[in-house]
Amino acid sequence: MTAVTDLDVFPPSPEFAATANAGPELAAAAEADRLGFWADQAARLHWHEPFTEVLDWTDAPVAKWFVGGKLNVAYNCVDRHVLDGHGDQVAIHWEGEPGDSRDLTYNDLLAEVSRAANYFTELGLEAGDRVAIYMPMIPEAIISMLACARLGLTHSVVFAGYSPTALRSRVDDAEARLIVTTDGQWRRGKSAPLKEAVDGALADGEHSVEHVLVVRRTGMDVPWTEKRDAWWDDTVAVASPEHEAQAFDSEHPLFILYTSGTTGKPKGIVHTTGGYLTQTSYTHHYVFDHKAGQDVYWCTADIGWVTGHSYIVYGPLSNRTTQVVYEGTPNSPNEHRHWEIVEKYGVTIYYTAPTLVRTFMKWGHAIPEAHNLSSIRLLGSVGEPINPEAWRWYRKHIGADKAPIVDTWWQTETGAIMMSPLPGVTATKPGAAMGPLPGISAKVVDDDGNDIALGETEAVGYLVLDQPWPAMLRGIWGDMDRYRETYWDRYADQGWYFAGDGAKVDEDDAFWVLGRVDDVMNVSGHRISTSEVESALVGHYGVAEAAVVGASDDTTGQGIVAFVILKESAHGGDADLVAELKAEVAREISPIAKPREIHIVPELPKTRSGKIMRRLLRDVAEGRELGDTSTLVDPKVFEAIRNS
């Protein structure tokens, strides 16, 4: 990482500060009375019944926020804006990949969400039931999420790039009764089947799914199971647009979202209602300096990830945002697509991932320069550390050298942004998430939990959250032991949440998040566990053993590098086999998990206790001198690996 000097500090401009939503009083209020501060933030929402207690932490590490309160998430995201007289405001400027587009006002959204809620009710679904959503970025995906929220159905959105196997394991784990999907999805001008993948996932019939609801998107032919399957057009589209929302308990489970952990089995992260909506609404308002009715906001994430949940659906809609939702990739039909969309809608706030910024850099600044991007007044980054070069490029070429950049650190588990500069308040440094937001508390500590002294720039520690926060996960679906073990056992004495990230704090008290310290890789901002990929590889008949590491990659942050030992029977034809193994991982998990390189090796480096030494494999993958090999059973194995 390039050294950062004083010249690299970007103080807020007086013009931005003059109209910023945030001011220094925000942090002062949170410091004076943390729980009172959160109670004030909760007042951003409409409560059908007020809460009686802000936080109940007696059952730690399972929190209850806004105890006794009742609210409806969809009412807060849709109905109340219509009732307040903003029904004609555009909620979603939707841009389809092939060039079709559609605007939905808050009135439209209310009618559509109500229709879907009426049809889900007709299917016999009841509050607490789970619904899987396996869809591309089309308005019906957001409508389905909101219809679930409206009825107290717990949704589990599964990224539409995931394989039938990955979908099935998530559907099984949550015991979903309904899957909402599409016939197919557009990908770089071609239609790819999706309903067929659902049928593949459900082929054996031994599952919890009673209904499959299908939105027509590409018009392709689909396999059909009578009684189980229904077209959205024949059902939701003809249902009544009137529906009265009921209120649910503040701790009612809103959604489950699966994310990779250190073992092969994805964790179903559980989020609830009142605290989650409070913090997503609060952070969206202040971190993005969002002004309802004026800004045009665009978060480029997919609803399959938490960023899509919190910063496309719940945070923005609770704040009556007008936003762009785009279905496709940034280079279809060409590399101008994002900037054409920015120009077309006058996007003012643009939130994306560092991997995309680095891709734009590779494409060259002539591309954004061909467009009028003067509407942009704030830029956001999320998903992985943003390297200072990319940060500077982003500010200069997309932000006209003046838009503040908010580098937002958070996780699927935290539910909402935890660390970020506050635009108009915080002076930023390229590459630093700066510090916890008002109301949030974080520390960087050593193995024993001692503070790492400020300014000890060389000392890298672990990032912990030492106070509960409203949007925190409430557990892992069906596995509370794993919840405690994964996040709370590491600093059990102190009662801190272990984030799994390495970090440091500099002499100005700025936090720098450095990346995962566990066996989780970060590829283009997607979290993938090494063991998930390893189990996909050993699932192939030719593979005896596999070890996977994340190696640094100029564009994607990390790239997946696999080392495999073949079974005797599979030797010969290695080149074909490598291609086949890559395809196998894409098929088993998703194309996003496809290894960048696969090395066929005769042996893997192991410790005397039989653990694979991934650290050394990472050295090999990144072309470095080997670290300490003294604990290896057979240090010579590296010659064999290097030569293969």
Compare residues 115 and 309 and give the one whose CB is closer to ligand WT7: 309
Beta partners for 134? 181
Task: Provide, rounded to whole angstroms, the least separation between the CB of residue 47 and ligand WT7.
Answer: 27
Is 513 an interacting residue with respect to ligand WT7 (CB under 6 A)? yes
* 515 binds ligand WT7, rule: CB under 6 A: yes
Say whether residue 243 binds ligand WT7 (CB under 6 A). Answer: no
Given 314, 410, 498, 511, the residue binding ligand WT7 (CB under 6 A): 410
Q: Is 632 exposed, middle or buried (0-12, 13-18, 19+ CB in 10 A)?
A: middle
Segment contacting ligand WT7 (CB under 6 A): 164-172, 212-220, 365-373, 405-413? 405-413
Query: By rule CB under 6 A, what count of residues binds ligand WT7?
Result: 24
Residue 53 zone, left/alpha/beta (φ > 0; ψ -120 to 50; rest): beta
Contact region for ligand WT7 (CB under 6 A) — 302-310, 367-375, 472-480, 624-632?
302-310
Q: Rule CB under 6 A: say whether 412 interacts with ligand WT7.
A: yes
Task: Please tell me whether residue 391 binds ligand WT7 under the rule CB under 6 A.
Answer: no
CA distance 98 to 353: 23
From 66-74, 88-96, 207-215, 410-418, give the range in contact with ligand WT7 by CB under 6 A: 410-418
Q: Does 589 bind ligand WT7 (CB under 6 A)?
A: no
Q: Which of 272, 307, 322, 323 binds ligand WT7 (CB under 6 A)?
A: 307
When asked if residue 616 is in the footprint of ligand WT7 (CB under 6 A), the reply is no
Determine the Cα–Cα distance for residues 80 and 292; give it in Å rounded to an integer: 14
Q: Does 264 bind ligand WT7 (CB under 6 A)?
A: no
- How far apart CA 296 and CA 624 sit, in angstroms, is 46
306 sits near ligand WT7 (criterion: CB under 6 A): yes
Strand order in the sheet with 130-134: 229-231, 211-215, 178-182, 130-134, 154-157, 253-259, 267-272, 475-476
Binding of ligand WT7 at residue 382 (CB under 6 A)?
yes
- Rounded to whole angstroms, the Cα distance separating 340 from 349 reads 15
Give me the long-range contacts of 161-164 (CB less than 8 A, separation at least 24).
161/304, 161/590, 161/591, 161/592, 162/134, 162/304, 162/589, 162/590, 163/197, 163/586, 163/587, 163/588, 163/589, 163/590, 164/197, 164/198, 164/200, 164/201
Does residue 323 interact with ligand WT7 by CB under 6 A? no
The yes or no reply on residue 500 touching ligand WT7 (CB under 6 A) is yes
Three-point CA angle 460, 461, 465, nearest 5°: 145
Torsion of CA 569, 574, 576, 580, to 10 degrees: 70
Would you count residue 317 as binding ligand WT7 (CB under 6 A)? Answer: no
Tokens for 528, please give them. 């993938």
423 binds ligand WT7 (CB under 6 A): no
- Closest to ligand WT7 by CB, 385 or 595: 385
Residue (136 or 354) nearer to ligand WT7, CB: 354
Q: Would you count residue 502 as binding ligand WT7 (CB under 6 A)?
A: no
Among 259, 278, 279, 348, which residue sits at the site for ligand WT7 (rule: CB under 6 A)? 259
Closest separation in Å from C-beta 282 to ligand WT7:
16
Q: Which stretch binds ligand WT7 (CB under 6 A): 222-230, 366-374, 407-415, 560-568?
A: 407-415
Select the residue whose beta carbon is closest to ligand WT7 and give its number.
Answer: 412
Provide the token pair at 175: 């015991």
The kind and range of the H/E element at 553 are strand 543-553
Residue 149 lies near ligand WT7 (rule: CB under 6 A): no
Helix, strand, or coil here: 183? coil
Nearer to ligand WT7, 79 or 407 (CB): 407
* Nearest-approach distance from CB 597 to ligand WT7, in angstroms: 22
Pairing of strands 53-56, 64-67: antiparallel
Contact 281, 292 (CB under 8 A): no
The reply to whether 442 sits near ligand WT7 by the rule CB under 6 A is: no
3-state helix, strand, coil in the chain (%, to 5): 35, 25, 45
Which residues within the stretch 517-576 sit at the binding site for ligand WT7 (CB under 6 A)?
522, 525, 527
Q: Tell me the window of 116-124, 379-387, 391-399, 465-473 that interacts with ligand WT7 (CB under 6 A).
A: 379-387
Rounded CA-CA distance 267/286 in Å is: 30
The CA-to-CA distance between both ends of the chain, in Å, stands at 31
Task: Report, in Å, the least distance between residue 189 CB and ligand WT7.
Answer: 28
Residue of the chain from 70, 516, 606, 614 that contacts ligand WT7 (CB under 6 A): 516
Which residues would be at the binding site for ligand WT7 (CB under 6 A)? 259, 305-307, 382-385, 407-412, 433, 499-501, 513, 515-516, 522, 525, 527
